[in-house]
Amino acid sequence: MSSISTALQDICRRIEAAAVEAGREPSSIRLIAVSKTKPPHKIREAFDAGHRLFGESYLQEFLEKRADPLLEGLPIEWHFIGHLQSNKIRSVIGKVSLIHGIDKISTARELSRQALRQNLHANYLLEVNTSGESTKYGMAPNEALSAAEALFALPSITLRGLMTIASPDAALAAKEFGELRHLLEQLREVAPHPEQLSELSMGMSGDFEAAVMEGATMIRIGTAIFGARGAG
């Protein structure tokens, strides 16, 4: 068995164990295999092991990989998890089922405008900076609350939930995951369609079990599946 397939099995077991410990249904948590910087044959290896959901962070790299002969036409579900500038939005619509990293009202407006123009619909998550670290992207939680009404009103796009990258410190990370869940609950109270606003994208290789404990519905794992980046 390949190391990628073994790693996938191992992660799935750990997600399941954390879910059981949290009293949650393991199937309520989706694993996004983060394949950024990894070559198409590694993605193909994970696909052949049965995995279908992949996350990419860099637009040009993503567009090249999805058109690669090893991957083209496969029933892969792609998520875009990187930072997207407004001028790149148009190229990603229709190619991914979820965009995780929208962190400004102006970017959401552009997403809406481009989706409308292309006669497509886009699902997105709002990136929230729960750590308060100034080097991180994301809206402050109170900013997200005040932006909510404007975001809900935008046509051709649907806000499906929240995404965060937590602090490296485990205790802080657990607190930040809890804060993201709390923010989602607050947003659901004012949402016109709260049933559509249900996703919490949080947890990476180093902290996903804590994220599952705090209610993550999507976890984004790169290193623990594909190995360290920069190591092929």
Ligand X SMILES: *Cc1c(COP(=O)(O)O)cnc(C)c1O
Q: Which residues bind ligand X (CB under 6 A)?
A: 34, 36, 57, 81, 165, 204-206, 220-224
**Which of 158, 205 has the CB closer to ligand X?**
205
**Which of 36, 52 has the CB closer to ligand X?**
36
DSSP letter, residue 207: T
User: In angstroms, rounded to a whole number, what is the distance separating the alpha carbons of residues 108 and 126?
Assistant: 9
Nearest distance, CB of residue 83 and ligand X, angstroms: 8
User: In angstroms, rounded to a whole number, what is the distance separating the alpha carbons of residues 66 and 97?
Assistant: 14
Nearest distance, CB of residue 201 and ligand X, angstroms: 8
| Angle at CA of residue 155, ends 151 and 159, nearest 5° | 45
Amino acid identity at 4: I
The residue nearest ligand X at its CB is 222
**Which of 60, 146 has the CB closer to ligand X?**
60
User: In angstroms, rounded to a whole number, what is the distance separating the alpha carbons of residues 208 and 150?
Assistant: 31
| Under 8 Å between Cβ of 26 and 10 | no
Nearest distance, CB of residue 117 and ligand X, angstroms: 27
Indicate the angle between helix axes 141-152 and 105-117, nearest 10 degrees: 30
| Under 8 Å between Cβ of 8 and 15 | no
**Which of 119, 134 has the CB closer to ligand X?**
134
**Which of 66, 193 has the CB closer to ligand X?**
66
Nearest distance, CB of residue 102 and ligand X, angstroms: 13
Closest C-alpha to 31, from 3, 9, 63, 64: 9
φ, ψ for residue 207, nearest 5 deg: -145, 20
**Which of 29, 204 has the CB closer to ligand X?**
204
Helix (H, G, I), strand (E, B) or coil at 229: coil
Amino acid identity at 118: Q
Nearest distance, CB of residue 155 and ligand X, angstroms: 27
Nearest distance, CB of residue 187 and ligand X, angstroms: 20
**Which of 50, 168 has the CB closer to ligand X?**
168
Nearest distance, CB of residue 185 and ligand X, angstroms: 23
User: In the numeric block, which tokens belong to residue 35?
Assistant: 């394949």
